[in-house]
Amino acid sequence: MNKPTPNSTQAWWKEAVIYQIYPASFLSTGSGSVPGWGDIKGVISKLDYLKHLGVDIVWLSPIFKSPQADMGYDISDYKEIDPRYGTLEDVDELIAGLKKRGMKVLMDLVVNHTSDHHAWFLESRSSKSNPKRDWYHWQPPKHTENGKRIPPNNWASLLGEANSAWTWDEKTQEYYLSLFTPEQPDLNWENPEVRAAIHDVLKFWLERGASGFREDVINMISKVPGYPDAEVTNEGAPFQPGYKLFCNGPKLHEYLHAMNREVISKYEAMTVGEMPFVKDEDEIIKCVGADRQELNEIFLFDLVDIDNDSSGFRMTLKDFNGKDIKDIQSKFQRLMLDRNGWNSLFIENHDNARSVTRYTSSSDTLSRNLGAKLLALMQTTLAGTLFVYQGEELAMANVPADWPPSEYIDIESVNYWNKMKALHPNDEEKLAYARKVLLHKSRDHARTPVQWNAGPNAGFCAEGTKPWMRVNDDYKEWNAEAQRTFSDPEDLSVLQFWKRGMQQRKEHKDCFVYGDFELLDPEHESVFAYRRFGGGEAFVVVLNFSGEEVKWEMPAEAGVEKWVTGNYKGKPEKETEGSILLRPWEGLLGVGKL
Ligand code: TEU
């Protein structure tokens, strides 16, 4: 009998399936102030779709008042809803609709920075003596030897590395820190008034019925004091990646613990903190250790940064293979089991390209179906809290290669393309490379409207209304209605495969959610295989992360009793020991011996 794992302390937020909604692209009923923009009533209209899929919790990307410089991740009022999404009353209706279905909502807490339109910042920037001056990071300029004004340090902006992370304010003759864009000034968490104001925002939404928060770049709220220059890792670049100095600073755990003790712990609520750049395992466990009273879980970036080059910038490219995916997944499965932490399982979100294109293949219908189901089989059988991003359950894919750069409208894509045009105005090879980076890495791929049916605008908004972002060209074939009504006694649509996978995960939660993890065949270049065991049962998962046939020697310790399902049509007819042939992108689930 396998020993129960340390993570067997059961909790609703561990077992839940959490579905991320990017409201702008989810569904537009026309009830918001901007035609062709998704709205809260659109989310309400799909609650039964989500319930039927097996979703327990909805994470709403920001719907607060915002000038939309960064699609709402630049908040100008934390307690008001932006009219393009609807009203506070719409949110109350949404929360009531979720509760009626036994579901919950997480709000997206963006508190490392506000919008430059926020009242706090308008006061802070009004004068150097304003009481809120110290609510943000203000610094005097430096000057070069010949007297030219330069920013306080060499940190690069995160949404456009050609730009400084500092923005000049002519009126008060100082710079303010804006790690992402000039429209997103960083809050100074060293100031206890800032911390108290954020605690008040937390309480406001918890009292309104939210069941917790996804916390945006929460590891950036504590920076290394003094704003020292970053190490020069990109010779010749005007600015350098500063994340080692503005992530996981000296007071992060103090701030996280205080939020937990003073607010979150007083409610039936969960927290998942987004933590780009963090790699140190001790630091990770400090954030999510069961005994730490800080965060329940965090989003780590190893998998979504798998194809970043060594520059530290995201809009770059690097090859990877199935073993790279395996190494990352198995590392964190073991870390959290061995050190009593907790994983968040995600391979897609609003900041990343579509997983079926990125980690498998969406080049043809068969590969796309197989690849999406392969990923679903992985995600529904690993330990941790499962997150699914809108459209992932439909195998929504990247936009096609023939979309011109002008169709990429996210601020990060625009800054990147402008940088490359400015640096290489007549270099067709460099500009072709830049288009390749957009095609593989742009956040826009995740922000095309959800494809509900084959009708006008894919059912996202009314016929004759122009969606705020172009609908992917493949919506007539790839949409929820087609996959809901798909019927084949020997096959499932991607949507049906995800639904079944979520059901199986819950039915066998002592194994899949809480069970132990044993990696099989660690060295194989494309096969990711593992045993999950707990609650008196064991399963074996075998994933061929390549588009090639693979003759795989099954390790004796796999202990497969019988294969129960796979991502190809029909029941898997394979040997349970010795050598088996894995077809391209083939995934298998077998009952294992204890
Ligand atoms: O993302 C922060 C983050 O690390 C990634 O978005 C990455 O830095 C960015 O995509 C540039 O490569 C969060 C939100 O998810 C993102 O949408 C916001 O743009 C960002 O913070 C600022 O709030």
Give residue 67 CA to ligand 1 midpoint distance, Å.
17
Tell me the pLDDT tens digit for each residue of 296-312: 999 999 999 999 998 87
Pocket test residue of 115, 158, 183, 413 for ligand 1, highest count of atoms within 8 A of CB = 158
- DSSP per residue over 564-577, as a string? EEESSSS-----SS
**Where residue 313 falls among pLDDT bands split at 50, 70, 90?**
confident
Q: What is the pTM of this model?
A: 0.97
Indicate if the pLDDT at residue 3 is higher than 80: no
Tell me the pLDDT tens digit for each residue of 409-453: 999 999 999 999 999 999 999 999 999 999 999 999 999 999 999
Indicate if the pLDDT at residue 129 is higher than 60: yes
Indicate if the pLDDT at residue 5 is higher than 60: no
Mean pLDDT, range 475-485, rounded to an integer: 98
- DSSP per residue over 21-83, as a string? E-GGGT---S-SSSTTS--HHHHHTTHHHHHHHT--EEEEPP-EE---TTTTSS-SEEEEE-T
Pocket test residue of 73, 441, 444 for ligand 1, highest count of atoms within 8 A of CB = 73
Active site residues: 216, 274
Cβ atoms of 392 and 380 closer than 8 Å: no
Cβ atoms of 255 and 222 closer than 8 Å: yes
Give residue 312 CA to ligand 1 midpoint distance, Å.
14
- Averaged pLDDT of the chain: 96
Give residue 159 CA to ligand 1 midpoint distance, Å.
8
**Where residue 4 falls among pLDDT bands split at 50, 70, 90?**
very low
- The reported pLDDT for the residue numbered 458 is 98
Indicate if the pLDDT at residue 386 is higher than 60: yes
- The reported pLDDT for the residue numbered 7 is 59
Tell me the pLDDT tens digit for each residue of 185-242: 999 999 999 999 999 999 999 999 999 999 999 999 999 999 999 999 988 999 999 9
- The reported pLDDT for the residue numbered 256 is 98
**Where residue 8 falls among pLDDT bands split at 50, 70, 90?**
low
- The reported pLDDT for the residue numbered 557 is 95
Atom 17 (ligand 1): residue with closest C-alpha? 351
Measured CA distances, 245 to 113, 181, 224, 295 (Å): 16, 18, 5, 21
Protein residues whose CB sits closer than 6 Å to any atom of ligand 1: 70, 73, 110, 158-159, 180, 216-217, 274, 276, 314, 350-351, 412, 443
Give residue 221 CA to ligand 1 midpoint distance, Å.
14
Indicate if the pLDDT at residue 6 is higher than 60: no
Atom 18 (ligand 1): residue with closest C-alpha? 73
The backbone torsions φ and ψ at residue 470, rounded to the nearest 5 degrees and listed phi first, read: -60, 135
**Where residue 1 falls among pLDDT bands split at 50, 70, 90?**
very low
- The reported pLDDT for the residue numbered 345 is 98
- The reported pLDDT for the residue numbered 143 is 97
Ligand 1 atom index nearest CA of 350: 17
Cβ atoms of 364 and 584 closer than 8 Å: no
CA distance 393 to 390: 7
Ligand 1 atom index nearest CA of 315: 12
**Where residue 2 falls among pLDDT bands split at 50, 70, 90?**
very low
